[in-house]
Structure 1
């Protein structure tokens, strides 16, 4: 059976089967367009949900960081030392940056600044040995140490292995370093060595050095001998001042005190859902409130 259709004034016979095929193509085309639109709306909706979820995770991660910060500061301020326990913090806490799990999302590192190497007035022998422990040669260690001192002193006199004006495109400062990142500019420093050395340095200065709380490379540099016994006791959480002195022959003396300081570097990391946040801060604590009620001074902080 045929269907008679007018085309430019002419009668054209179009088979019904052919007309049905054209209609089917139209239906398929419309269906494809609708499917593409539906897919687009679905993807857009999922993206919006993902963005909203990421924002929600970030907010909750920020709350977890502040919660962990408050918890740790409270413990540091309220735990008093006794004769048997020099560092009476909750089980699992330490002052030499071994990660502490606060909850399933949060890890905290606490480092007593007294165990670090100060950038302004470093013990030169300790700094040289530490750099060598990190893989630097004796020449590199001497160059970095002398250059660090030259960078900060007010004169233009160059130490034996140091560097002064003319050795840098920018610098030296000729004043005490205020940002730890400046040390990366020192002659002899490279990216790999800086990555290892940076966590061992501090700009805020404790009034003494405490080798008990020194990170492993610094502790080994200070003892200049096998420190495995000390490190093993630290891992077990059973290191006391008397044991440290018996094993090392180091006792309280000028510039060295085997007690915690009031300066701490806190590193808080939160991994919650899609959010990964990190906060590092250096705080000075005083368990006895000042006139304005302050017990925590934030020396430095960054997210």
Structure 2
């Protein structure tokens, strides 16, 4: 009888343990789903807030201004700004447009990359494209065919350029036919014969950090990442790193200033360099705690009557990587990116974030 009682107690203990473990697991899974939902709401709110700011706030050489707290500077900008809402002299409260990470609403983190800081294969000059091909290890004899295949992929006819490729060539290679339209995103370059091999060493994140499909001939030295600055004629990795370090202290105010710092020929830089952002760019969002990252490409549309002030061109999900290794700046000094406190009063950024 005693043995039976002991056996029953063991069984009951095991059952109780199993129930407790299952309960803890269920609670943990439920909490994870709550965290995911909260993170998604934070990212959506941060995205919409930033798109609103991009459509209404002034942009300077330093980036996107965040509020009207510096009244004299903002008033000066209203007088000096051009039709695209751009002024020259930074006011000191800008969100940088060079992929610098910032804290958004709640647990959301974000960075903004100006399209003029990236290389546009459809619009960049021959010199820049040759530098890009060289950086990817492509021999000079392949440059012409790469250009021809890129153009054949997008044009509406089935006529072959010299060294190009049309739908018959894609069928023979077992690839989908060319779209016969402009690229929807830089990732579509992977579908172009020749380019699929050229870009194979790059991850999607690395590709999107270098290339854009926006109409951009010039390179913005105030927003271009290291990898793109190194493509400028006469520059190498060390020169690019120096420019990035210097602009963190203060944005460049003239192309002459850049020409004095690095060995770029003024004759080459004329028409190749700019200091102002484009009307389009990429917004990358992620949850500080979990999940993947999301890249949203936006274009401002201030001149389209009867339409929203911006459009979303495409979205890409990227691996999380290890964003904890990257320093994140404080939340920009604007009440738009500060959640209300428990009392219902709108929060204000801490002094350190100003």
TM-score of the alignment, normalized to the shorter chain, above 0.5:
yes
* Equivalent-residue separation in structure 2 for 1:224 and 1:237 (angstroms): 23
* Equivalent-residue separation in structure 1 for 2:124 and 2:158 (angstroms): 18
User: Is residue 53 from structure 1 mapped to residue 31 from structure 2 by the alignment?
Assistant: yes
Match of 1:30 in 2: 8
User: How far has the Cα of 1:56 moved from its partner?
Assistant: 0.8
Match of 2:219 in 1: 210
* Equivalent-residue separation in structure 2 for 1:38 and 1:149 (angstroms): 68
User: How far has the Cα of 1:37 moved from its partner?
Assistant: 1.2
Q: 1:194 to 1:148 in 2, by over 3 A?
A: farther
Match of 1:147 in 2: 149
Q: Give unmatched runs, 5+ long, in structure 2.
A: 61-76, 81-86, 318-354
User: Is residue 183 from structure 1 mapped to residue 189 from structure 2 by the alignment?
Assistant: yes
- 1:176-202 residue CA offsets vs partner (Å, 9 max, x unmatched): 222433211223334323543343222
Partner of residue 57 from structure 2, selected from 53, 78, 84: 78
User: How far has the Cα of 1:79 moved from its partner?
Assistant: 3.1
SS in 1 for 2:295: strand
Question: If you compute each CA radius of gyration, which structure gives the higher value, 1 or 2?
Answer: 1
Structure 1 segment 35-114 matched on structure 2, within 5 A: 35-76=13-54, 77-81=56-60, 85-86=88-89, 88=91, 90=93, 93-102=95-104, 105-114=107-116
CA RMSD of aligned residues (A): 3.4
User: Is residue 235 from structure 1 mapped to residue 283 from structure 2 by the alignment?
Assistant: no
Number of residue equivalences: 275
Match of 1:260 in 2: 277
Indicate the larger mover: 191-200 or 106-115. Answer: 191-200
User: How far has the Cα of 1:119 moved from its partner?
Assistant: 4.8
User: How far has the Cα of 1:266 moved from its partner?
Assistant: 0.7
Answer 1 or 2: which has greater strand percent. 1
Q: With structure 2 as the length reference, what TM-score do the two structures score?
A: 0.65
* Equivalent-residue separation in structure 2 for 1:177 and 1:62 (angstroms): 29
User: Is residue 300 from structure 1 mapped to residue 314 from structure 2 by the alignment?
Assistant: yes
Match of 1:282 in 2: 297
Q: 1:163 to 1:279 in 2, by over 3 A?
A: same
* Equivalent-residue separation in structure 1 for 2:291 and 2:7 (angstroms): 45
SS in 2 for 1:111: strand
Structure 1 segment 13-24 matched on structure 2, within 5 A: 23-24=1-2
Contact 2:285-2:293 within 8 A present in 1 as well: yes
Q: 1:252 to 1:86 in 2, by over 3 A?
A: farther
* Equivalent-residue separation in structure 1 for 2:19 and 2:207 (angstroms): 51
Q: Give unmatched runs, 5+ long, in structure 1.
A: 1-22
User: Is residue 270 from structure 1 mapped to residue 275 from structure 2 by the alignment?
Assistant: no
Indicate the larger mover: 27-36 or 288-297. Answer: 288-297
